[in-house]
Structure 1
Amino acid sequence: MFNARIGIDIGNGYVKYKGKVFKTRVKTGKVLKVGHIRDDVHTVKMNGLDFIVGDGEMVTGEDKYDNIRFKLCVLTAIADANKRFKNLKVKLCLGMPLLDKERLEDEVTQKILSWGEQSLIVDDREVTIEIVDVDIFIEGALPILTEDTGHILTLDIGSGTVNAIEWEGMTPINFDTLKGSFYKMYSDMATYLNNTKGGNFTVADVEKLVLKGKKETIIKQVMTDISEIYMIMDDFVSGSASLLKQKFNTEQVEKIQLLGGGATPSFDYWVKHFPHAYVELVPNSQFINSEIYEMVANM
């Protein structure tokens, strides 16, 4: 029935699958084939139209499931992960926050199945894709993957939200989604640098600096101290930690596990704001959700 099984983590910032990643962005047009071709941007032709997947407009919000950009992100990831096949029958697993899963699971599943057989050209390769089975799993379900039966708080730190789940015996006992946004934090950092240092930074520029842990960068041909931007990150984590302490039993969990794309750059700040807890950075934190979904797809 299937010749491909795949788990895809479609976040507000990035699409992650099988160790690969591209931005959750789509725009119409073609990639100019000049110089080095980026492997995180894909050219797609579907229904006679040309698209660039991995650049352009963001794909966010609950209405994204009705948006062709969401469909393009899903189909592009499937095609890129299965280059050996021209005709694909796919079992797919996607993730949702626990708060959304019960409410949206059936509706989103039916929408994806209704796509039927789709013919498209991805990076100059013709492919036909039919998604014939869909699983929706919860984001941040790390204890399911690790079979950890302890009392754990998992924090999935994404571009648009922080999804928190308290686990005991591999069962969720409390959960919430904080609307704090890593993307907004990067935007605030860019605004700060542009206003105080005379720069011309975009959100993407700041994200690159933070992911590399940079405290200095070139502005107007001068190496400039930008360490103040990390106060904005401290404010973000402080506010999120305060909300979590109100909602969850943070002082009695055995450990707090951080995953998601924002986990690594913010790890030290979470340790600071939970001084009495054991805070753990999950290995391969950016791809851990897609690994969980891959496991579910192969069940």
Structure 2
Amino acid sequence: MKEKNISGKRFFAVTVLNIVITIAEFIGGVISGSLGLLSDAVHNLEDSLSIFISYICNLIGRRRNDVSKTFGYKRAEILAAFVNSSILIVITIFMVIESLRRFHTPQHIDGMLMMIVSLIGLAANLISMVALWSGSKDNLNIKATFLHMMSDTLSSVGVFAASIFITLFQWYWVDPLITIIIAVWLSKEAYNVVKETINILMEASPDIDLNEVKKAVLTVPDVVGIHHIHDWMIDENYIIFDAHINVNKDCTMDELETIYRQVEKILKEQFHVSHVTLQAECTRGLKEPLIY
């Protein structure tokens, strides 16, 4: 799977947009009394930091492998995705708590001002989403940042919808209700990213059926067994696989190299493995299980 990078100019543009939105929504929230706008302002402030972290880790992740990091620096982006998504979950919890408090003590809100500021935020957040869209599909780091932008966009839509009801009917309870709905949805999306990053950091196996791997490898001539399999991910795109394979005892070195190439081709083409390490044996470990 081809990984897509986002240019520094895009990251910078998105950061500047978020700072502008933060200032506008903070001022608008204080004047109008809207919790939705103030929540958005705090959220956007945190987003600016998240985008900066995402960009720095994106640069680090592009560095070549060296003697101190033989597997490279790709995990930097996984760490950024974990931190940013975890922060997002914490923010949503505070949003829900404050919204519940507002249900008990409703406050007067200037619906028209709330509507104008939410439209400004909506336009800027949509631009930010478009800027990050291309890299969000294949990169957890950019996806986590994209989720921040998406949450801001949905929040702006929610705040705009709430401002209509407040302006027309003085339904002030709509403001905290919209905030809770957005927070619940957002926490679910952020949790999925946190879960995936934890799996990668814990070197969990990718979504590969090892029994199917065994069947495929045993189709290679002279391969009679496979055991001691280890497979893990450096990032969401880079899978590493190593295993012991049993071969016929009369295999020559030339034949063994051919076997290695055939097994590697199967693993890369059928199971999208990026890096393969094999150890050939005759009878040793022949009856041992796939996972040691």
Q: TM-score range by the shorter chain?
A: under 0.3
Larger radius of gyration: 2
Higher helix share: 2
- TM-score normalized by the length of structure 2: 0.24
